């Protein structure tokens, strides 16, 4: 790249200012989307564009996730002196943004060979050449899509979004296994839609349902009115990193020529003008039969215990520390008045035994097991996305059966056990 051409590209970079809190949110979203296994430099880059959309000046950030199968667009209102675009590294800019404090504008302007950001402190970021020329393939999502345009279907409700977020916490974050790194969203198209979202890995399953929610269908009806599609977890995590209560949000899918789901998008807009959209292609692979596991646990339950979710979470955190392992495990013993959560390290230098009081303990079948082993990180991941308050835990009949967790609003998660022969006793 010749110096004159580099200078020209820097001159094309924008000069503008935005709210610092908006810029932080945009960087947090893009940072969450970065692939865990990514090695190529282009996978950590984003394109920033300052331009007028309609009657408003906007700063738009484009990025990608899951090896390019998820495209992200975030936008907020800006004061633009000079429109333009540039491509920079997400990680370094997100770190700088996180370190800034106060209610001050974030100002951006081009320098000789970089972009200068100014808030509480100043920092220069190198501009990457030739990555922003294809930014058009990312764009066009700021306006909420119409379902008829895609011949697909769309959900509009906070309940549907909450269901998807809950299920995503149980999905794998391994981008190399696309079908496992997704959640299954199922709907039944009637006057109102019933939506069930499911995510799973080998050690946890999360399901959540939302009934009587806003629903639109475009094109011809789907066979039987039953519709389903896969949403990459990375798309849900990225949009979920934008904090606040959205003013509007939607989950939409569209069909390919053969009638199968070709892709979709998550779209949210906040009252203060901040917005985010993640569009994605339908991943290849077969999604696990997670729902049948939930039904099997419910049918074969051994003992059901109702406890405060904060107390069981505290006990598991203690056991995770005591286990002192890369894969910390803990044991649960069911007692007449609650649960005993135990762990120890090898060699036996540390150990813990935390009692969790129960408001109810019920025997659902005779001769059921009273001790179970679980992975602590998986258990904490499941519990984190349940509603605070009482949680009902239904344990299986044998030590190898998974446990079913149900909160007060109907969200359910399945936590699979560790082989007792491999776990610490």
- Which has the minimum average pLDDT: 86-95, 139-148, 300-309? 139-148
Residue 401 has a pLDDT of 83
Q: For the structural domain made of 290-415, what CATH number should be given?
A: 3.10.150.10
The per-residue pLDDT for range 273-291, each reduced to its tens digit, is 899 988 888 777 666 655 5
Residue 197 has pLDDT above 50, yes or no: yes
Higher pLDDT, 35 or 380: 380
Higher pLDDT, 224 or 140: 224
State the pLDDT confidence band at 423, using cuts at 50, 70 and 90: very low
State the pLDDT confidence band at 96, using cuts at 50, 70 and 90: very high
Level-2 CATH architecture, domain 147-281: Roll (3.10)
- Which has the minimum average pLDDT: 280-294, 327-341, 374-388? 280-294
| Average pLDDT score over the chain | 77
Residue 361 has pLDDT above 80, yes or no: yes
Query: Measuring CA to CA, which residue among 281, 280, 275, 279 is closest to residue 61?
Result: 275
Residue 194 has a pLDDT of 61
CATH 3.10.150.10 in the chain: give the residue spans.
Answer: 3-137, 147-281, 290-415
Residue 46 has pLDDT above 50, yes or no: yes
Distances (CA, A) of 417 to 45, 150, 331: 40, 42, 10
Measured in degrees and rounded to the nearest 5, phi and psi for residue 393 equal -110, 115
- Return d(Cα 412, Cα 166) in angstroms, integer: 9
What percent of the chain has pLDDT above 70?
72
Residue 140 has pLDDT above 60, yes or no: no
Q: Which CATH class is domain 3-137?
A: alpha beta
The per-residue pLDDT for range 293-333, each reduced to its tens digit, is 555 556 566 788 999 999 999 999 999 888 877 778 899 99
Residue 332 has a pLDDT of 95
Q: What share of the chain is helix, strand, coil (3-state, %, to 5)?
A: 25, 40, 35
CB-CB neighbours of 194 under 10 Å:
15
Measured in degrees and rounded to the nearest 5, phi and psi for residue 308 equal -80, 130
């Amino acid at each position: 790249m010749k110096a004159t051409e580099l200078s020209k590209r820097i001159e094309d970079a924008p000069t503008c200012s935005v709210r610092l809190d908006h810029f932080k949110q945009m960087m947090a979203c893009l940072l969450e989307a970065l692939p865990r296994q990514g090695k190529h430099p282009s996978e950590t880059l984003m394109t920033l564009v300052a331009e007028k959309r309609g009657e408003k000046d906007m700063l738009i950030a484009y990025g990608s996730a899951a090896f390019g199968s998820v495209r992200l667009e975030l936008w907020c209102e800006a004061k633009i002196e000079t429109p333009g675009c540039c491509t920079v590294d997400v990680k370094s800019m997100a770190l700088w943004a996180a370190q800034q404090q106060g209610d001050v504008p974030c100002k951006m302007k081009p320098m000789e060979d970089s972009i200068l950001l100014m808030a509480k402190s100043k920092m220069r970021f190198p501009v990457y050449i030739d990555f922003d020329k294809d930014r058009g393939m990312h764009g066009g999502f700021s306006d909420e899509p119409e379902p008829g345009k895609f011949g697909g279907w769309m959900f509009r409700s906070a309940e549907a979004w909450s269901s998807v977020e809950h299920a995503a916490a149980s999905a794998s974050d391994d981008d190399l296994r696309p079908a496992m790194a997704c959640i299954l969203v199922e709907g039944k198209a009637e006057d109102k839609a019933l939506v069930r979202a499911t995510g799973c890995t080998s050690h946890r399953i999360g399901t959540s349902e939302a009934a009587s929610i806003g629903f639109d269908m475009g094109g011809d009806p789907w066979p039987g009115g039953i519709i389903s599609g896969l949403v990459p977890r990375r798309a849900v995590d990225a949009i979920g990193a934008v904090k606040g209560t959205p003013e509007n949000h939607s989950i939409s899918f569209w069909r390919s020529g053969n009638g199968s789901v070709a892709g979709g998008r998550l779209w949210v807009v906040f009252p203060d003008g901040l917005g985010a959209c993640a569009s994605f292609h339908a991943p290849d692979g077969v999604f696990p039969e997670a729902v049948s596991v939930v039904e099997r646990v419910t049918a074969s339950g051994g003992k059901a215990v109702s406890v405060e979710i904060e107390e069981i979470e505290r006990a598991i955190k203690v056991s995770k520390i005591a286990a002192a392992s890369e894969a910390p495990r803990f044991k649960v013993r069911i007692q007449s008045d609650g649960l005993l959560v135990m762990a120890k390290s090898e060699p036996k230098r540390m150990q813990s035994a935390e009692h969790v009081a129960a408001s109810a303990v019920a025997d659902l079948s005779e001769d059921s097991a009273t001790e179970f082993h679980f992975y602590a990180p998986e258990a904490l991941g499941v519990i984190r996305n349940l509603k605070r308050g009482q949680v009902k835990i239904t344990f299986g009949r044998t030590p190898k059966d998974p446990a079913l967790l149900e909160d007060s609003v109907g969200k359910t998660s399945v936590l699979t056990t560790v082989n007792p022969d491999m776990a610490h006793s």
